[in-house]
């Protein structure tokens, strides 16, 4: 196994984030991928810089998360971060990206709009889905390369000018499609072996394959998401890309210590003691015998909790065996709002993303 298969060689808790400017966040559906990507962007912006969060699936998931109307195709500041930082959001769209591409490289925006009216853009990206992926990944990688004071193809921006964005976070497709989505050179090979589209794909892959890019996987302490994470990491490593962190989302703390969990899982809880505890908690208005029945029900609930926690511990051990840093984010009751995002962002920072 070579160095890139293992990931960046940087040591310490920030190894998964150090030196990266493009953070690609993927995960099985239902794992909280968009929430994790947004919290990561906020954590990175809390250093005091400007961060771009790019959504590429067309779901307007970030807008929904932030309680905002659907976002247009523009880089819009959406979140203020500590230390003067900010998170800008782009809801990327393949059609709009193609129009922008035609304008940038050929001055053909009007022609592109005519193609849109004729349905040619939709037709092209349907029969050649690789083209759609090139346009979407290209938008994110262009933002990574962009220098302050310059826009896209500007040739008068000094090469040593600071970057326009300190970091770019991509809310990417799910784990099952991430390798195909990022392997744009392979996807474009059948479309164009030479020419501007091929050159565009090569520039995209130059950024994606560089050491400034990390692919982070969001998962849960459950068998199916963990298995998809293992498979996805193997695919990404097989492509020679750098794997960043494994983000374990929605983690709940155990309610008992180790001995208590073992006893509960084995069904060895003392229900008489539980009934006494219920009485001590002033639940003494129940009729005779109800404390014992309630204690028996409670013992079953505690046993289910213990078995679930032991399963989670096994899954955690398997994830640790992948050799990448684990970042754990807590389960938040009552949904995710701005305060909850700030809490998750601090969790990222404390575990290395803020270094």
Q: Over the stretch 171-185, which tens digit does the pLDDT of each residue have?
A: 999 999 999 999 877
Task: Give the per-residue pLDDT at 1.
Answer: 46
Task: Give the per-residue pLDDT at 285.
Answer: 52
Task: Give the per-residue pLDDT at 78.
Answer: 96
What would the two tokens of residue 146 be?
């962009």
Task: Give the per-residue pLDDT at 61.
Answer: 93
Residue 266 has pLDDT above 50, yes or no: yes
What strands lie across the sheet with 213-219, from one edge to the other? 76-80, 86-91, 50-55, 167-171, 22-27, 213-219, 243-251, 326-330
Q: For residue 231, what is the enclosing H or E element?
A: helix 223-238
Pairing mode, if any, of strands 86-91 and 167-171?
Answer: unpaired
Superfamily name and number for 3-252+331-350: P-loop containing nucleotide triphosphate hydrolases (3.40.50.300)
User: With contact defined as beta carbons under 8 Å apart, do 10 and 19 qualify?
Assistant: yes
Q: So where are the chain's domains?
A: 3-252+331-350, 258-307
User: With contact defined as beta carbons under 8 Å apart, do 93 and 132 qualify?
Assistant: no
321 or 290, higher pLDDT: 321
Q: For residue 255, what is the enclosing H or E element?
A: none
pTM metric for this prediction: 0.85
Per-residue model confidence as pLDDT tens digits over 86-137: 999 999 887 777 667 666 555 545 544 555 554 545 545 554 556 778 888 9
> Alpha-carbon Rg of the chain, whole angstroms?
24
Please give the backbone phi and psi of residue 203, each rounded to the nearest 5 degrees, phi first: -65, -40
- Give the mean pLDDT of the chain: 83
Which residues, in sequence order, are CB contacts of 199 under 8 Å at separation 6+? none
């Amino acid at each position: 196994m070579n160095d890139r298969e293992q990931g960046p060689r940087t040591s310490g808790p920030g190894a998964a984030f150090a030196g990266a400017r493009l953070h690609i966040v993927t995960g099985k559906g239902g794992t909280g991928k968009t929430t994790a990507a947004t919290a990561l962007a906020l954590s990175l912006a809390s250093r005091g810089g400007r961060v771009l969060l790019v959504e590429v699936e067309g779901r307007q998931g970030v807008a929904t998360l932030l309680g905002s109307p659907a976002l247009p195709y523009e880089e819009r500041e959406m979140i203020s971060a500590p230390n003067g930082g900010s998170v800008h959001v782009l809801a990327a769209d393949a059609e709009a990206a193609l129009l922008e591409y035609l304008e940038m490289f050929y001055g053909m925006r009007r022609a592109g709009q005519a193609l849109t009216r004729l349905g040619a853009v939709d037709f092209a990206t349907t029969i050649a889905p690789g083209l759609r992926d090139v346009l979407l990944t290209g938008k994110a990688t262009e933002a990574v390369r962009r220098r302050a004071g310059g826009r896209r193809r500007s040739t008068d921006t000094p090469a040593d000018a600071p970057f326009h964005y300190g970091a770019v976070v991509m809310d990417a497709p799910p784990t099952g499609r991430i390798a195909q989505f990022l392997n744009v050179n392979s996807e474009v090979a059948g479309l164009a072996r030479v020419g501007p589209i091929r050159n565009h794909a090569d520039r995209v892959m130059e950024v994606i394959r560089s050491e400034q890019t990390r692919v982070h996987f969001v998962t849960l302490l459950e068998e199916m998401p963990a298995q998809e994470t293992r498979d996805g990491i193997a695919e990404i490593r097989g492509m020679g890309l750098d794997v960043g962190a494994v983000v374990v989302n929605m983690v709940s703390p155990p309610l008992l210590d180790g001995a208590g969990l073992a006893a509960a899982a084995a069904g060895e809880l003392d229900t008489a003691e539980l009934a006494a505890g219920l009485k001590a908690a002033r639940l003494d208005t129940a009729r005779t015998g109800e404390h014992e029945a309630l204690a028996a029900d409670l013992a079953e609930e505690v046993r289910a909790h213990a078995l679930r926690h032991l399963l989670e511990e096994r899954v955690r051990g398997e994830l640790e065996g992948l050799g990448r840093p684990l970042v754990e984010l807590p389960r938040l009751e009552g949904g995710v709002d701005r305060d909850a995002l700030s809490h998750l962002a601090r969790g990222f920072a404390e575990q290395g993303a803020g270094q």
